[in-house]
Amino acid sequence: MRRMVRSASANVALGSTASVAFSSDLMPTDSANFRALGSPRVLHRKYGSRFSKNGPCRALSPDEIEAVERKLLSGQYQWLGEKSMPPNFWESRDNRVHAINVLVERATRKGKHMEDIVPGDFVRDNIGYLLRKYYSSPLEALEDAGFSIPYPWTGRARVPAHYWESKENRVKAVRWLVAKLGKQLEGISYLDLVDVAYHVFTDNGLSGLIRRSYYHGSPFAAFLEAELVTESDRAAFEKAVVERMVKSLRNANLRTKAQNQEPEA
Low-confidence residues of the chain: pLDDT under 70: 1-61, 64-87, 262-265
pLDDT at position 12, please?
A: 32
Query: CB 191: neighbour CB atoms within 10 A?
Result: 11
Residue 59 has what pLDDT? Answer: 56
What does the pLDDT look like over 97-139, one tens digit per residue?
Answer: 988 998 999 889 889 998 899 999 988 888 888 888 998 899 9
Q: What 3 state SS string does 48-99 have?
A: HHHEECCEECCCCCHHHHHHHHHHHHCCCCCCCCHHHCCCCHHHCHHHHHHH
pLDDT at res. 153:
93
- Inter-residue contact 39 to 102 (CB < 8 Å): no
Identify the pLDDT of residue 161. Answer: 78
Q: Is the dihedral of CA 260, 261, 263, 265 positive or negative?
A: positive
pLDDT at 58: 52
pLDDT on residue 158: 83
- Rounded to two decimals, the pTM is 0.63
Q: Nearest 5°: phi and psi at 10? A: -65, -35
